[in-house]
Every structure is written in structure tokens, then in C-alpha cells.
Amino acid sequence: MKPRARILLSRRWPKRVESILDEDYEVWSNARDHAMSAAAMRQALRRADGFCPTVTDRLDSDVLRVPSPRTRILANFGVGFEHIDLDAARRSGIVVTNTPDVLTDCTADLAMALMLAAARGVVSGDRRLKAGDWAGWRPTHIPGVRVSGKTLGLVGFGRIGRAVAQRAGQGFGMRVRVFDPRPPSDEEARGLGVEVCAGLDELLETSDFVSLHCPVTPETEGMIGEPQLARMRPGAILINTARGALVDEHALARALRSERLAAAGLDVYAREPEVPAELKEIGRVVLLPHLGSATRETREAMGMRVKENLDRFFAGEEPPDRVA
């Protein structure tokens, strides 16, 4: 009988998916469910046939520089893979896969939730009521910003950006403008009901809400900094469910304190799980702990997508979601 491949999960997965994995693999899991250290990840590469990291695991060239690693596949639990040095993985002969498609809708839903929460004072209203700070309805209590009919600017127009555009346009009657290095054609844009901006500055200057939906690359890291925040409309709202490193968080805090921006809704941060104290102190910021894909359905679907990549790889076939 052929021995089962040994798989190491860097974090705990949904129980249902772990049970299914157990049927076909020798599964080791991170029982402490804390981010693994560089040393622990190197040990995983030496001992496991497949290693399943998440966004919390920084597999840089130093970590991947393990002589003759046993690991032959990094089956990432997540769609983003900027935490993995793909060139270093290739040099070590390690295949890398991700989990596209399955988290699109839930992440788009959360972007809309952040937009509504930040605009309408949902979190501050909840906190005040629970603290007993409510003397009844009055015309000037927690005035927010209307969402329906406003202009939404989407920076990045991949799967999630398109899903947000559909929700905002069809559900809230918003005018949707997009900027992407690979923009849709004029015909496609008309079909999707969006307007294409020639540049980022144009989008920032013409949007009431700006929502980020692009990966972190050398070109996009810090793309929303002091100059870009200054170009946004006074009273605009910034939403980020993509990656924290896209935004200069300290510049964002200054723009919020000066009241140039009305509010912000953030699900991601540059140095997770660290969140700048200055953002925590601003009441008009809604902060979530990276919940974009956090529904039972999506997290299970992500795990099953990882398993499909593992199954195909260990069967000697090309994994469907290979990125390196």
C-alpha cells in the first residue's frame, strides 16, 4: 500500500475539511493556531510533503532556503500569495497553488458592509447605545453619509472588484468608476455598467467612496499615501478589504483627524495583527480583524480547493490553481 503524503497545516482549518483531509493524508496541524515562526516553517519544509500556509506565514527566500526540502507543494489557503517568494519556491523545485474564485462573493459582501458601517455610524451607534449613551431620537444624533446614488471608485477590477461593482450599481444605484492597469474594454465596461478612469488621480478626485481591490506588488505598495489622500474629495470614505500595505496608515490617520476624509473601513493592515494605535483612537474608523472570507461556507470551500490542488499534485497531475 502506497504511504500517504504528509501534509502540514499552518493554522487550524474548519473541522469538516480537516476530517476530509485526514481520510487521504497524514495531516499535521498547528494545534496552537498561532502564526508559525520562521524556524517552524523551515522545519515544516524539511518534514512534510506538502505545506499549507496562509497569509500569516511569510515564506521569503530565507525561509525557503532549506537544503533538499521534503516539501514539494505549497498549497496556500487563500487567494493572495504575496507572502510567498515565488522565485525562491521555483529555485527549490516547489510548486505553489492558491484558492481563487471561492472567496469572491463573501469578500465583496464585506466591502459593502464596511462601506455602510463607515458611512452610517453603525459601530459608533451600537457602542453608544450599549454604553447607555442614548436619550432617544433627535435630528442631530450621529449624522452619517448617504450611500445610495453616490459615486464609488474601485481601485482594481478583478473578480472581487467586479462583484462589488454589481452590488453597488444594481443594489444601491451607485455610479461606479474603475481604475485598473488592465481595464475592461469599452464594450465590456458598458455591459458591466462602469466607467473606466484613465488614471488613479482621476478616480480619487471624482469618487465619494474609494474601495481597494488590488494585490500588493512593488508598484502598488503604499499606493494610497499623503498625495493620493489629498486628492480625494473632501468628506470621502476609504474602504480596504484587499491588503493593508496598499495604504500609508499614518497618512490615513492624519487625513481622518483633519476631517478631510469623513471615515474609513478597514479589514486589513500593513503589519497584521498589529494595528496602528492612532487608527484605533479615531471613532470614524471601522476596524475588522481580516474577516473578508470569514463565512463558514467560504472557509470550507477554500479548504476543499486546497485539497483539490493537493489531490491533483500527488496524483502526478497539474494542480488547477498553480501560480508557480
Q: Answer yes or no: is pLDDT of 1 > 80.
A: no
Active site residue: 42, 167, 213, 243, which one?
Answer: 243
Beta bridge partners of 209: 152, 237
CA triplet 215, 282, 107: central angle to 5 degrees?
A: 30
CATH topology of domain 104-287: Rossmann fold (3.40.50)
Q: Answer yes or no: is pLDDT of 78 > 90.
A: yes
Active site residue 213: no
Q: Answer yes or no: is pLDDT of 241 > 90.
A: yes
Active site residue: 290, 300, 308, 312, which one?
Answer: 290
How confident is residue 2, by pLDDT bands cut at 50, 70 and 90? confident
Tally of residues, the chain: 324
Confirm if 173 and 199 have CB atoms less than 8 A apart.
Answer: no
Q: Answer yes or no: is pLDDT of 31 > 90.
A: no
DSSP 171: I
For range 219-228, the mean pLDDT: 97
Q: One-letter amino acid identity for 77?
A: F
In the numeric block, which cell numbers belong to residue 60? 521569503
The reported pLDDT for the residue numbered 190 is 96
Confirm if 88 and 222 have CB atoms less than 8 A apart.
Answer: no
Q: Answer yes or no: is pLDDT of 305 > 70.
A: yes
User: 47: buried, middle or exposed (CB in 10 Å: 19+, 13-18, 0-12)?
Assistant: middle
Active site residue 205: no
How confident is residue 262, by pLDDT bands cut at 50, 70 and 90? very high
Q: How far apart are the first and last CA of the chain?
A: 31
- Give the whole-number percent of the chain exceeding pLDDT 90: 98
Domains 6-102+296-314 and 104-287 share a fold: yes
Structure confidence by residue, pLDDT tens digits, 79-106 = 999 999 999 999 999 999 999 999 999 9
Structure confidence by residue, pLDDT tens digits, 150-196 = 999 999 999 999 999 999 999 999 999 999 999 999 999 999 999 99
Active site residue 290: yes
Q: Among the CATH numbers 2.40.50.140, 3.30.300.10, 3.20.20.100, 3.40.50.720, which is that of 6-102+296-314?
A: 3.40.50.720
- The domain spans of the chain are 6-102+296-314, 104-287
Active site residue: 18, 82, 195, 272, which one?
Answer: 272
